[in-house]
Amino acid sequence: MERARLRELTRRGLVAAAIGASIIASVSCRGSGRSFGALLAKIDAARGLASEATFLGAASLARGTEDRLRLLKRASALEPDRYADVAAAVLKAGSVSEPVALAALDAYILSGRYEAALSLFEGPLDPSSRSAEYAESLVLAARSGANPAPPYERLVATADLTGDWRFMARAAIDAMVEGDRAVALTLLADAERFEGAALPYRLLWDAGAVGALSERTADPGDPLEIAVIADAERLSGDEAAACASYAYLIARFPSWSWKPYAALARLGAGTAPSAAAPEWPHAPRMDAQAGSGPPDTAGRLYATMAERFPGSREASIERARWLYSQGRVRDASSLVSGLQGEEAAIASLDFSRREKSVPDALRLAALYPDSPIAIDSALAALAGAGAWERFGELAMRSDGAGLSTRRAWFWRALTYAISGDATLAADEIRRYGPAAAGFPGAFDLGILEMAARRPDRAADAFVIAAGLAREADERSEAFIRAGDALASLRRYDQAYAAYESALGADPASREARSRLERIKDSL
């Protein structure tokens, strides 16, 4: 009986405690509401003289959109900085609705806190539905000297809304920084809708917008712009216009730079120089300097260039390369022999006689061990001279030092091939891309794949090489090798087609004709 009464009292005590807690919570909530209301009444009674602590206290107690808007309405009568401080306190107190965020945006803009205003569009405000407010914040931030970095999609939207091409140009720059040149070109094309002539020509050049540049009229007082547009005309294939622009630049600014003289000399009579297959991938032949115009015209231009720029090392090297292309090796070597610097040393190596190329290459590598361009030239000279031991040593040393030369992939492949590892050599070229390696790289890949006993891959490489070949005999040889690889796989129909293609490329090829006759027995 006593225990039953005790349990009953305990139960009643717990119920009373629960009721008491509920009452306390209710009173507390009403007290919070009365505290916010009291502070709001205090602010109203002070007639604009309420302390900042009063406003900040009210901000921490405000609950819901209505309370916060009532507080911000009163804060808007304060000085802009105090208004913004109250808005920041409201935002800090918890998540807010869009109307409250818009009021905070007003406070930030009035106080000049434009970056804080932009930060609202990363949270409670949607820039796509509030594009006008976003554009205003971004424009004001830019004018204040701030450097916001919004996504270029927002910059494009701002440009569309304001009609200001500079936002589109900024979006194009950001796209280039991210490595997306295609998007940059598209954005610059759109920017021309606003005010194409105002787009900086340097920006168009950096983006590779040669088409847009070639259609512009250069400022006659800016020699650099004339030169850039002339280069764009040449790259666009309008060599007649490029010749006219270079000639105009020379006539108007004869002492500005030696480069227009060289460019006009290379174009010659307005036709492009014929390009032959390089000895190594991406290595233009020296006779590409010659141009296809009359030699006396190019000679006069180079002579005039030498007279007007007697102290220019670059101009002397350019003229020496042209002399070398004309077979005047002694004159070319003499011209660069007295010059100093890395570029002159590389040119001197290019003009070396074969018996001097190895010591000259080693000297160049010793003088400029950290230069990717110098090491690349030295490796090419050693490989060309067949100095494979020296080549291997230099290639391993530069690769171990992490020196990234322009043709590092090719030199690594060559090193593997010399050491007898055809598989690694082939993998290196394939990793770079046989099509990007040009005819020599693709053809060499086929040979290496055959040596590695991978004839299926070899056939693919030889077919790519045939597509990249510049001369008929090269194309025929590549198809013959492809046919041999296919024949070793017993794909006789495909091999027959490859030999037919070889004979079609070079009807005088006895080797292709012989292969065709022999393969018929296997069909």
pLDDT one-digit tens code per residue, 98-127: 888 888 888 888 888 888 888 888 888 887
> What's the average model confidence in pLDDT over 86-95?
82
Least confident of 28-37, 237-246, 262-271, 437-446: 28-37
How many CB atoms lie under 10 A from the CB of residue 97?
Answer: 12
pLDDT at 245: 93
pLDDT at 369: 92
Residue 268, pLDDT > 60, answer yes
**Gap between the Cα atoms of 378 and 381, Å rounded:** 5
Residue 486, pLDDT > 90, answer yes
Q: Which of 124-133, 171-180, 478-487 has the highest average model confidence (pLDDT)?
A: 478-487
For residue 390, CA distances in Å to 373, 376, 378, 396, 415 come to 18, 14, 10, 10, 11
**Gap between the Cα atoms of 333 and 351, Å rounded:** 6
> What's the average model confidence in pLDDT over 360-372?
92
> What's the average model confidence in pLDDT over 344-355?
82
pLDDT at 260: 93
Positive/negative CA dihedral, 316, 318, 319, 321: positive
Closest by CA to 71, choosing from 85, 86, 50, 84, is 86
* 0.85 exceeded by pTM: no
**Gap between the Cα atoms of 19 and 27, Å rounded:** 12
- Inter-residue contact 315 to 330 (CB < 8 Å): no
Residue 62, pLDDT > 60, answer yes
> What's the average model confidence in pLDDT over 251-272?
81
pLDDT at 499: 92
> What's the average model confidence in pLDDT over 130-137?
82
* pLDDT band with cut points at 50, 70 and 90 for residue 212: confident
* pLDDT band with cut points at 50, 70 and 90 for residue 196: low
Which residues are CB-neighbours of 36 under 8 A, at least 6 positions away?
Answer: 58, 61, 62, 63, 67
- Inter-residue contact 471 to 455 (CB < 8 Å): no
Q: Average model confidence (pLDDT) for the chain?
A: 80
Least confident of 132-136, 270-274, 392-396, 487-491: 270-274
Q: Which of 40-49, 385-394, 480-489 has the highest average model confidence (pLDDT)?
A: 480-489
Residue 270, pLDDT > 90, answer no
pLDDT at 94: 78
Which residues are CB-neighbours of 298 under 8 A, at least 6 positions away?
Answer: 265, 266, 268, 290, 291, 322
pLDDT at 24: 34
Which residues are CB-neighbours of 47 under 8 A, at least 6 positions away?
Answer: none
- Name which residue leads in pLDDT, 2 or 439: 439
Residue 23, pLDDT > 60, answer no
Percent of all residues in the chain with a pLDDT value above 70, rounded to a whole number: 85
Q: Which of 266-275, 311-320, 348-357 has the highest average model confidence (pLDDT)?
A: 311-320
> What's the average model confidence in pLDDT over 164-191?
80
pLDDT at 278: 41
